[in-house]
């Protein structure tokens, strides 16, 4: 009887370990998922937007500017891939629109293209910063009607967090809008919730 009990305990123990292994394996796979589930956005911006716009050189993208924000002159642009830079009235946030070239591979599916574009854009930031930025969390796709964007976030060694969206225009060009925090005046940078509202609002008003 004792032998049977001992064997039963060993069997139960082995089954328990196997269950933990399977469960931990499932959890591992879930943690390694690269993207959050897709999200649909309302076409109505959450903050007040102005009638002022910025436009890509190719004419395949137009974006509206938040109320009270100012577009900087092109002599302030640090590189030729910058389409436009706008700053808020407190000089704590800037929205940087840039052209990010073409993907090294051609993918027909629109959603898969946006996934690959997020990977490409993040790697681009890492390379341009000399490895001084790292991604925060996971990327996710945002859909507004038929328009699909990819959203991701990264942080520099200074602790400042940048949120960005990427998309492909109908002409096949790829763009990014990065909401970059500015530590220029000592004024408190808006919190994450406010920054998310601003970026979502800008995104809803990007036409391509």
Q: Which two tokens stand for residue 176?
A: 């990014």
Q: Which two tokens stand for residue 172?
A: 């096949």
d(CA 142, CA 88): 24
Write the CATH number of the domain with boundaries 39-207: 3.40.1000.10
Q: Are 71 and 96 in contact (CB under 8 A)?
A: no
The residue extents of the domains of the chain are: 1-32, 39-207
Per-residue pLDDT tens, the chain, 208 aa: give them. 444 444 444 444 443 333 333 333 333 333 347 899 999 999 999 999 999 999 999 999 999 999 999 999 998 898 899 999 999 999 999 999 999 987 766 666 888 899 999 999 999 999 999 999 999 999 999 999 999 999 999 999 999 999 999 999 999 999 999 999 998 888 999 999 999 999 999 999 999 9
**pLDDT confidence of residue 1:** 46
Q: Which helix (H) or strand (E) holds 82?
A: strand 82-87
Q: Which two tokens stand for residue 83?
A: 């389409």
User: What is the value of pTM for the model shown?
Assistant: 0.81
């Amino acid at each position: 009887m004792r032998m049977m009990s001992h064997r039963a305990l060993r069997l139960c123990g082995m089954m328990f370990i196997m269950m933990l292994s399977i469960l931990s394996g499932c959890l591992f796979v879930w943690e390694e998922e690269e993207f959050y589930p897709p999200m649909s956005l309302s076409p109505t911006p959450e903050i007040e937007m102005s009638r002022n716009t910025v436009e890509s050189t190719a004419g395949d993208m137009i974006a509206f500017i938040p109320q009270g924000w100012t577009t900087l002159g092109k002599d302030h642009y640090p590189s030729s891939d910058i389409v436009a830079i706008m700053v808020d009235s407190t000089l704590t946030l800037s929205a940087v629109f840039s052209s990010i070239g073409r993907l090294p591979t051609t993918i027909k599916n629109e959603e898969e293209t946006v996934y690959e574009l997020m990977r490409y854009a993040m790697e681009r930031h890492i390379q341009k910063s000399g490895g001084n930025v790292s991604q925060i969390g996971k990327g996710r796709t945002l859909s507004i009607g038929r328009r699909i964007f990819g959203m991701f976030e990264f942080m520099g060694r200074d602790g400042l967090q940048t949120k960005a969206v990427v998309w492909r225009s109908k002409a096949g060009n790829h763009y990014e809008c990065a909401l970059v925090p500015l530590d220029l005046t000592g004024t408190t940078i808006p919190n994450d919730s406010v920054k998310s509202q601003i970026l979502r609002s800008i995104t809803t008003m990007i036409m391509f």
